[in-house]
Structure formats: C-alpha cells, structure tokens
Amino acid sequence: MKSIANEDLIGSKSMPHGNDVCQGPSSHSLNKKVTALVVEDNVVNQMIHKRLLSNLGIETQVVENGKEAVDLHHSGAVFDLILMDMEMPIMNGPEATRVLRAMGVRSKIVGVTAYSGDYEKRVFMDAGLDDYYEKPLTMAKLVSLLQELVDNN
C-alpha cells in the first residue's frame, strides 16, 4: 500500500493510544500506518469491522455512537478513515458526520448502512460522507475503499 503522504492524514501521530495495535505490512518508505475509527453501536458489527481492518494492518479504534466519535476528535484524534454507522443512539451517523465536517475533519468518512431508502442515503451523503456501503461490510468493499483512499492521496 502506498504511503499516505497528504498532510491532512496525520494518522497515528496524533491519535490517542488505541487498542490492540496490529503490526500489519508497511511496504512504504514513510512507514505510516493507516488508522481507522469504527463508529458503530452493534457489538457484532464492531467485532467484524475491527477484524476486517486489523487483517489489513490498519490501526483501529472503536466507539459506539456519534458523540463518542466527536469527543475523540475534540481531544485531538485524527484518523485516515472513519467507518460511520447510520443509526446509533445519542448521536446518529448523519449528525456525527455533520459535526465532524463542521469541526474541519477531512478524513475519509464512509457510511455503513443497513439497507435504507434513497432518501435516507441522500441525507447521509449530504451530511458529508465520501461514500457509503451497505452492511455488512465485506473485505472486498473495504479493499476497494482503501484503494480509493490511497489513490486520492
């Protein structure tokens, strides 16, 4: 995977200590690991998304609603990729996305949604997503969006 050299993607440098750091492949000169935040209230999906990401050598943190994601960013965390569930208690995906964008967060934010109508998808995209995928996330979808992440930087 090419290095993420874009200055926006500070990655693990300013990320608070995450849980189980996975020593994935680092085949690039700048040696920056891709970092990801999973924002998801369903524990089964948390486990799956975390494993999907870790298997690709991505340093992953998990929070269970939009507000926790926002708080994390307020405390200075930066991630290359944010996987944002749509429906969550306290603060849902679209709202959290709006708040993060308003804060100036320019990470790639990908909505992960259970099948929902076009209207809900539009609302979610309009909140500031870069893309969305239908749940459940698969390795193929993840590799595809990570490739975009790398290509766009």
Q: Binders of another protein among 37-96, rule CB under 8 A?
A: 41-45, 47-48, 51-52, 55, 87
Residue whose CB is less far from another protein, 18 or 57:
57
Q: Catalogue the long-range contacts made by 128-131 (C-beta closer than 8 Å, 24 or more residues apart).
A: 128/97, 128/98, 128/100, 128/101, 129/84, 129/97
Six token digits for residue 118: 């076009």
- Nearest distance from residue 48's CB to another protein, in Å? 6
Question: What does the alpha-carbon distance between residue 29 and residue 39 come to, in Å, rounded to a whole number?
Answer: 30
- Nearest distance from residue 51's CB to another protein, in Å? 5
- In the complex, the residues that contact another protein under the rule CB under 8 A are 41-45, 47-48, 51-52, 55, 87, 114, 135-136, 138-139
